[in-house]
Structure 1
Amino acid sequence: MNSAVVYPPPTAPPADMFGTVPGYEGTVAGGGGYLPPPVPLEPVAPPQPGPAPADWSIPSLSEDDAQKAFKEFASANCCWSKKPAEDGVITNMQPFNTYRYRLETFTESRSTEWAQKPHEGEPADFYTQPAPRPWEVQATPPTMFTNHTQEIRVPYTSSIKDCNTCHASGVQPCGACHGGHKECWQCRGSGTTGIETQCGHCRGSGQERCDKCDGRGTMACDTCKGKRQLLAYIQLKVEWVNNVEDHVVEQNSGLNVADLHSVTGKELFKNSQYLLYPLVGFPNPVIAEASERLIRDHQSKYAQTSRILQQRQTVELIPITKVNYKWKGDTHVYYVYGNEHQVSGDYPATCCCVVM
């Protein structure tokens, strides 16, 4: 869960030096885990009614639109023959509209770890003032329901120390050579090419100057980047995550429900607030039950390790059309679904490539 760089053990801050920062007692090098948020508020809004009765029908898909969608489906696959889409004859079309309930819970979580970076003149403010607690540090949230991560150096936790990787020298041996020289690539260290012919590239020495370190034999230290000192501090990682969960009402079309994740439908209802109540009185009881179950689960699951900032629930009616068609005397089936007219089905001529 923690993607921060783990530095070599010698460079980690001493535990006895930083173990008494109020609010950060459990923070360690490599990550201290997610921090419980402040006590959440209780919902204050009344239960949400379902959408008012309305004309929820979706216009039936025309044969022309079904044929067009099928042709685009075939054209998107370069090795498929276009004949089934072009010559197939539609024999039957059957609509299967289905409800999808979607719950989004937008959360903010915070975790801390001891981190370090090359010292570039930053002041050492450790203990000059009390450090703000993890949930007191100001962070700029993104647009609501958008995933984002921000890393913040916690004020008044920074100290300066010598780099133990290079012993404060700022340099380390070059890994590509030995003392600034390496084996000549042309004669492979022999000093000759052919039969007793001196290598013209290294002039018979068998070695050449290392181009990685420019012949110095050393390079800037990977840990301190040549600065000789490190700034050690508590790093706060703030993550905003939009946790999305769907429930699709069972439908008998035969289309795999997983196919519906990538499409949209006709929006029947949407509302958002800090903490949602389940829908009440929705015409389809399965949607009302899904709303109650998912809201309860989300509020229980995410409130333990994160702060719920907003919830949003949506009900859509997704169009699905089952299309039967004939090609070369055989009957085949494909589905056209969603506002985007996506297509799913077993294509009867999936390879027209010619192997030379």
Structure 2
Amino acid sequence: MSAPPTSDGPSAPAAYTFDNVPGYEGTVAGGGGGFLPPPMPSFPDPSPQPEPSQAQWNIPSISEDTAHEAFVLYASSNCCYSSAPAKDGMITNMEAFNTYRYRLETFTESRSTEWSQKPYNGEPVDAFSQPTPGPWDIAAQAPTFFKNSKEVIRVPYTSSMKNCHDCLAMGRVPCKNCCGAGNKVCWVCNGSGYHHEQIRCNHCSGRGRESCTQCQGQGAKKCTTCNGRCQLLVYINLTVKWTNNSSDYIVEQSSGLLLENLNQVTGKELFKDARYMVYPVMGFPDVNVVSAAERLIREHQATYSQTSRVLQQRQTIELIPITKVIYQWKGKSHMYFVYGNESKVHADNYPATCCCTIM
């Protein structure tokens, strides 16, 4: 058997391993080539059309019974809270706050390429048999809008067979464990062949060396890059990613409830608009929402249209109900919040805890 190459482990593929494919000149192995900008459309983008203004924006409010039931459920779900304040407390005042959340979603498609390889198993090679389609000319089926997804496609007419660069087309590489010798110094006698006052080493039978268990004494192992096949199939992979890019804006409100609490709940949907390109909502009673819509639509267009193809946009406005509740219990006034469609409760300084917290 011919001696295996003596290189120190796998090396990166040589530059000549990859063909020069027109339209894919920047493609490298292992990715890193960046996303490919989409081609200029052959026709102008459709102009966005404004939505007609909506005259009525329904503002829901919760009842006292709803606020009381939500508070009782909140107290009962916390093992350290007595349910007495929630059950026996008397609501003295309820104040509703209109808090809006504007959300803009831009669903995009981006494409990137990389040279890939696999052990050659007799597959047909088609490099340069026909003109290679461009990265944005290859058909890919987009998933449901506004859901992230990915598809990897082998680019047609880029597959070729190359000799394996790691084993120099021999199918085997030197064993690192024994440095290609097939054996190594016996660990029991440290290579002397004897131990304990000239007693012959039983482990290596006095040879001072033992057979390498990693390569079974062969000095070489099957090349993992080509799986012992000696050749590789080299081709370009196209990765298509569909991404839902979402931005939220919540209007500041004076209830005292932190905005981070509102990220955990849903609201009542007041407005929804989905199309190729949305237009800032008009006629909404809160100018902060209108300003946020204009700003986010402008930012999304500048950010995502350079490296991706915009497939669809969607904007929604939710009203997140917040009710500030004041109640009396044992002659003292206390407060809690009920917010979101889920009637989630937030109560600082709950007045009756039944266990201690260790600090």
**Same-fold call, TM cutoff 0.5:** yes
Structure 1 residues 206 and 70: CA distance shift in structure 2, 3 A? farther
Q: Which moved more, 1:204-213 or 1:155-164?
A: 204-213
What is the distance in 1 between the residues matched to 2:223 and 2:354?
A: 56
* Structure 2 match to 1:77: none
* Structure 2 match to 1:126: 127
* Structure 2 match to 1:58: 61
**Identity within the alignment, %:** 51
Output the TM-score relative to the length of structure 2.
0.78
What is the distance in 1 between the residues matched to 2:299 and 2:263?
A: 21
What is the distance in 2 between the residues matched to 1:193 and 1:333?
A: 83
Look up the equivalent residue of 1:22 and give its one-letter code. Answer: P
Q: Offset at 1:246?
A: 0.5
Q: Offset at 1:172?
A: 2.4
Which residues in structure 2 correspond to 1:35-50 (within 5 Å)?
35-40=36-41, 41-50=44-53
Structure 1 residues 346 and 208: CA distance shift in structure 2, 3 A? farther
From 228, 231, 250, give the equivalent of 1:248: 250
From 287, 299, 310, give the equivalent of 2:289: 287
* Structure 2 match to 1:170: 171
What is the distance in 2 between the residues matched to 1:264 and 1:115?
A: 44
Deviation string, structure 1 residues 71-104 (Cα, Å, up to 9, x no partner): 33x2xxxxxxx34353445565543341101000
Output the TM-score relative to the length of structure 1.
0.79
* Structure 1 match to 2:149: 148
Which residues in structure 2 correspond to 1:254-269 (within 5 Å)?
254-269=256-271
* Structure 2 match to 1:78: none
What is the distance in 1 between the residues matched to 2:84 and 2:213?
A: 65
Provide the secondary structure at the position in 1 that maps to 2:101. strand
* Structure 2 match to 1:84: 81
Deviation string, structure 1 residues 294-342 (Cα, Å, up to 9, x no partner): 1121112211110000000111111223456789998765544322334
Look up the equivalent residue of 2:49 and give its one-letter code. Answer: P
Greater gyration radius: 2
Structure 1 residues 167 and 265: CA distance shift in structure 2, 3 A? same
* Structure 2 match to 1:114: 115
State yes or no: 1:24 paired with 2:24: yes
Contact 1:84 1:327 in 2 (8 A): no
Contact 1:115 1:232 in 2 (8 A): yes
Deviation string, structure 1 residues 183-233 (Cα, Å, up to 9, x no partner): 889x69699999999998877888777665556554332322222211222
Which residues in structure 2 correspond to 1:304-323 (within 5 Å)?
304-323=306-325
Look up the equivalent residue of 2:289 and give its one-letter code. Answer: I
Structure 1 residues 340 and 226: CA distance shift in structure 2, 3 A? farther
Gap regions ≥5 residues in structure 1? 1-6, 75-81
Provide the secondary structure at the position in 1 that maps to 2:240. strand
Provide the secondary structure at the position in 2 that maps to 1:18. coil
* Structure 2 match to 1:229: 231
What is the distance in 2 between the residues matched to 1:168 and 1:314?
A: 59
Contact 1:163 1:229 in 2 (8 A): yes
Q: Offset at 1:9?
A: 5.5
* Structure 1 match to 2:162: 161
What is the distance in 1 between the residues matched to 2:354 and 2:237?
A: 53
Look up the equivalent residue of 1:27 and give its one-letter code. Answer: T
Which residues in structure 2 correspond to 1:64-79 (within 5 Å)?
64-72=69-77, 74=78
Contact 1:67 1:85 in 2 (8 A): no
Contact 1:158 1:232 in 2 (8 A): yes
* Structure 2 match to 1:271: 273
Provide the secondary structure at the position in 1 that maps to 2:261. helix
Structure 1 residues 68 and 210: CA distance shift in structure 2, 3 A? farther
Contact 1:101 1:246 in 2 (8 A): yes
Look up the equivalent residue of 2:163 and give its one-letter code. Answer: D
The size of the alignment, in residue pairs, is 337
What is the distance in 1 between the residues matched to 2:326 and 2:174?
A: 71
Q: Which moved more, 1:211-220 or 1:259-268?
A: 211-220
CA RMSD of aligned residues (A): 3.7
Q: Offset at 1:351?
A: 7.7
What is the distance in 1 between the residues matched to 2:300 and 2:222?
A: 49
Provide the secondary structure at the position in 1 that maps to 2:263. helix
Look up the equivalent residue of 1:123 and give its one-letter code. Answer: P
Q: Offset at 1:52?
A: 4.3
Q: Which moved more, 1:57-66 or 1:187-196?
A: 187-196
